[in-house]
Structure 1
């Protein structure tokens, strides 16, 4: 992996000492027959070999020197504009995310070429090409992890973004166009029982299950729901009963962890959310995008469909996420009662992977009942999202600026393009 200093040295050695205007004038003189290639190169102070390449047609006049760009200048400008759009809506891109998006663009342009992810060399060259627009700023020292109190600046910035989206689009009085999607998890496993040793029983006890299943739910501020997205760990259950017994219209997927990831979120948004969303536009979708970064395809589709994606600030979802504020606790309570566990505070539920969708179908019915709809609306109200109310957040959850602790973990730097930010871990 080349270092930044190494690339800078190479750039200094190969820096052009001639201009394109001089090369064009020399080319005109040669083609008119007034000078030979050698005479024109000497007169206009341009390399003879480069001029000869243009005269013979091996190099197109006006083409850039050096290695070919992996993505075109137009696509690179689009990438910068895309990161600007993301930053304005609460999704400041990390270096890894930006390189990943650039790799997606490259893959779409070179479908027949063996795909190789763009690496450190491309990133350093990208930064060099954008040095007139990009400045490096230190990130603020924020203690990582969810805390009882969150930064006041983060909450203020979120409500500023929310107001900047809702007011121009006229969403203040249209709760059916404001959506929140969020994920909740269920750990399946039989409870441990205290009993005599297995030798005296004559058989070995059944091993507890370790299956994790997540449910991605989406509700509007009016209390209206979309069918849930059920995500299994490692693989689907055997057979098709999990689909026939599950909630009507539900979407199913799986991942190694049993949690939503970027690919699953893309599947949900493109094939599920847009299919069930109201036809009225614009729409607003609020979610925690830091857990499952959105893909380039999702952002492109959202802009085409007039859906604004608004990301919750990191470590603030427990006070700004409407579904966290009430409905999920109600769902877990109902699920525990149906599973026979008796308590929603249990971390494991005595339900098998095949049985889950059927039990959750009965659980999810509470969301359509009057009590469930009211709970969803109260969640939006408690978080100050609808009706829009910055002061709905309790002051006890807000951390004053002067009480912020020291920075934890590696230091971060922020690359800023106007209002755009890209975070990069310092080495």
Structure 2
């Protein structure tokens, strides 16, 4: 099929629907002929004839009939919007493939490419024109954790707990006593903004300070009345210098860490030196925070309780919609920071942005983006002040509406009646055994079979195992929602036709009876319950650490004892080996004959090197070794030149024999 070209003039559908209807009525009333009516009202004669003959409905559009009917296209449109709302949006290629599959399913002739198995771009353009509410958009990334946590149960629980806390503190109408604090990271290598360039140019570049830049963390805090506290800037490193902190906004607090991220000690420093000092004397004060580990410490909580400050922790992975600074301030901060970096590089073409230039650049950002209007808008958009839970729309939580199928790991599978592929099968309850049986979908043909519902009770149906081989069969999860009732009307048949094409994702979740330790709700950190919980955790952590140290010391002591035993055994083996390998005249014989004088001196009684007499040696002197050469003389061990080398002494040969 030839692709649609831009600004192409169409030859069809130039007539007006009202003119066609008037011409149709005139011919039906026999006041004009077909040719006269077509000429008078400016409509095609053949088009008018087809409507008069009944081949085409009079209300049909001024174009060729579409491959899919209006009801089928409406179903496809609803499926596209549903998939986008739950975070699984369809691409242009996906939609064209679905269009081809639906056309094949209907069995009607179509002009789509059967080799590539997808509809053409022309069909997609027409489909989008017939449904102008659809458009191609580039989606934002949504993490799996945010998709799960942004659900009505978590959000409603957050607003209930926050409302109760604000009522108890009586600060719902006191915006100057409601604060939010959060951190954001700014890189020394900025993100370039869009620029005006030559149309069609393939490479458009913008200068930055490097490929990867050092991160600088900025902790900001604002009240619902629009008052901003001085920022807290954290650099990567171990010490600060005057050149690093120059040109910063007034009263700015500085800190350093190994990673440039905030930690518990830095947050405690900011809380004591900046927050308590800057908020004034009005009490009580509510400080809204996210659940970062640096915000939750016993020291900070005790300090807050002493100063009548209440710390409220938002639910995890929901701060993009519940935290004021995230919602309306930090996006403006990053955009203004990028513009300020671009302006700095333009003014200084030969320089790059370093950590020593950061404070001067950030000063302009602080005055422009940390504004009263942004702070007030943030608290209003998140429903904190004025307190309004309806500010978080249902469309923000649609990604958490994926159908979840709970499977008990200790019980047989219980499945409600569901349509499998193209055939709706209702199976009555049957006795099952205690083992978990998994059923595979039965092969069905392409024809649609509708079975009327059987009288069953309100309890879910238990599908019993089929007589199969010894190997277990696997049942695929259903891709369509459970039917409340089955109708034999054409609408029900139409809906069932595309169930195996327009599959809606579902999640199989195994319930094993264990309670999750993950935190999934908001908390008031300064409450007695949370403080006691943290103290118990700290004590448990200290006990575990002490136990680890004790076990480590025991392991070291055992290891040293084993090494000592091994060394002793090794020394004993070496000593025994030396004793076994020693050759020479026995000291025992010398000891037994120490009181006897030899009757005659033999040449073997003298050392072959120093002529020392054997019987003159006292007990404990050197051992004697015999030469293995031709002379067979005896030598002191010290005279052999191999003292202590017992292995070599066993093969000792004197210098005379070697010569």
* TM-score, normalised with respect to structure 1: 0.54
Q: Alpha-carbon deviation of 1:210?
A: 3.0
Is 1:364 aligned with 2:366? yes
**Is the Cα contact below 8 Å between 2:239 and 2:256 reproduced in 1?**
yes
Rounded to whole Å, the distance in 1 between the matches of 2:260 and 2:147 is 25
Which residue is equivalent to 1:216? 219
Q: 1:243 to 1:150 in 2, by over 3 A?
A: same
Q: CA deviation at 1:319?
A: 0.3
Q: Judge conservation of contact 1:286–1:310 (CA < 8 Å) in 2.
A: yes
The aligned counterpart of 2:386 is: 387
The CA deviation at 1:278 is 1.9
Q: How far apart, CA to CA, are the structure 1 residues paired with 2:342 and 2:366?
A: 16
For 1:184 and 1:191, locate their aligned partners in 2 and report how far apart those are by CA, in whole Å. 15
Question: Residue 244 of structure 1 corresponds to which residue in structure 2?
Answer: 246
Residues 187-212 of structure 1 show CA distances to partners (whole Å, capped at 9, x for unaligned) of 223789xxxxxxxxxxxxx9655311
**Residue aligned with 1:225, SS:** coil
SS of the aligned residue for 1:146 comes to helix
Q: Which residue of 2 aligns with 1:225?
A: 228
Contact kept, 8 Å, 2:147 with 2:397, in 1: the verdict is no
Task: Check if 1:280 corresponds to 2:279.
Answer: no
Give 1:14's aligned residue: none
Q: For the structure 1 residues 190 and 306, does the alpha-carbon distance in structure 2 shift closer, same or farther, using more than 3 Å as the test?
A: closer
Query: Where does structure 1 lack aligned partners over 5 or more consecutive residues?
Result: 1-142, 193-205, 343-348
Q: Per-residue displacement from partner, 1:161-193 (whole Å, max 9, x unpaired)?
A: 21111112111111010000011111223789x
**Residues 190 and 338 in structure 2, CA contact (< 8 A), matched pair in contact too:** no
The residue aligned with 1:290 is 292
Shift of residue 257, structure 1, vs aligned partner: 1.8
Once residues 355 and 311 of structure 1 are traced to their aligned partners in structure 2, the CA distance between those partners, rounded to angstroms, is 34
2:254 partner SS: strand
SS in 2 for 1:252: strand
Whether the 8 Å contact between 1:266 and 1:294 is mirrored in structure 2 is no
Q: How does 1:285-364 map to 2 (within 5 A)?
A: 285-340=287-342, 351-364=353-366
Q: What is the CA–CA distance in structure 2 between the aligned matches of 1:381 and 1:361, rounded to whole Å?
A: 26
Give the secondary structure class of the aligned counterpart of 2:183.
Answer: strand
Closer, same or farther in 2 for the Cα pair 1:180/1:207, shift >3 Å? closer
Aligned to 1:373: 372
Structure-2 residue corresponding to 1:234: 237
Aligned counterparts of 1:313 and 1:191: Cα–Cα separation in 2: 30
Q: Secondary structure at the match of 1:315?
A: coil
Distance 1:351 1:366 in 2: 20
Q: Does the 8 Å contact 2:149/2:316 carry over to 1?
A: no
Contact 1:339 1:350 in 2 (8 A): no
Quickly say closer, same or farther: Cα 1:357–1:395, change in 2 above 3 A.
Answer: same
Give the corresponding residue for 1:150. 150
- Asked if the contact 1:189–1:350 (Cα under 8 Å) also holds between the matched residues in 2, the reply is no
- Aligned-partner Cα distance in 2 for 1:304–1:190: 42
Q: Partners of 1:304 and 1:170 in 2: how far apart?
A: 19
Q: Which has the higher contact order (CA 8 A, sep 6+)?
A: 1
Range that drifts further, 241-250 or 166-175: 241-250
The answer to whether the aligner puts 1:181 opposite 2:181 as a matched pair is yes
Residue 398 to residue 245, structure 1, CA distance change in 2 (3 Å)? same
Which structure has the highest strand share of the two? 1
Change in Cα spacing, 1:247 to 1:403, as seen in structure 2 (3 Å) is: farther
Q: Matched residue pairs, number? A: 257
Partner of 1:69: none
Q: 1:186 to 1:254 in 2, by over 3 A?
A: same
Q: 1:338 to 1:309 in 2, by over 3 A?
A: same
Aligned equivalents of 2:291, 2:393: Cα separation in 1? 24
Question: Using the alignment, how far apart are the partners of 1:291 and 1:350 within structure 2?
Answer: 34
Corresponding position of 2:87: none
Measure the CA separation in 1 of the matches of 2:211 and 2:267: 30
Structure-1 separation of matches of 2:509 and 2:217: 32
Contact 1:190-1:209 within 8 A present in 2 as well: no
Is 1:228–1:250's contact at 8 Å kept on the other side of the alignment? yes
Q: How many angstroms apart in 2 are the aligned matches of 1:332 and 1:144? A: 25
Tell whether the 8 Å contact from 2:234 to 2:257 is kept in structure 1 after alignment.
yes
Distance 1:389 1:356 in 2: 38
Aligned residues: CA RMSD? 3.4
- Provide the rounded CA distance (Å) in 2 between the counterparts of 1:191 and 1:172: 39
User: The residue matched to 1:215 in structure 2 has which SS?
Assistant: strand
Q: Is the 8 A contact 2:245 2:356 kept in 1?
A: no
The answer to whether the Cα contact below 8 Å between 2:336 and 2:369 also exists between their aligned partners in 1 is no
In the alignment, the residues of structure 2 paired with residue 215 and residue 186 of structure 1 have an alpha-carbon distance, to the nearest angstrom, of 8
Cα pair distance change 1:283/1:419, threshold 3 Å: closer
Distance 1:148 1:327, change over 3 A: farther
CA distance in 1, matches of 2:389, 2:165: 15
Distance 1:383 1:335 in 2: 24
Structure 2 unaligned spans of 5+: 1-142, 193-208, 345-350, 405-506, 520-527, 538-659
The 3 A distance-change label for structure 1 pair 289 and 190 is closer
Q: Please state whether the residue corresponding to 1:147 is helix, strand or coil.
A: helix
CA contact (8 A) 1:190 1:208 kept: no
| 1:148 Cα deviation after fit | 8.5
Q: Which residue of 1 aligns with 2:516?
A: 413
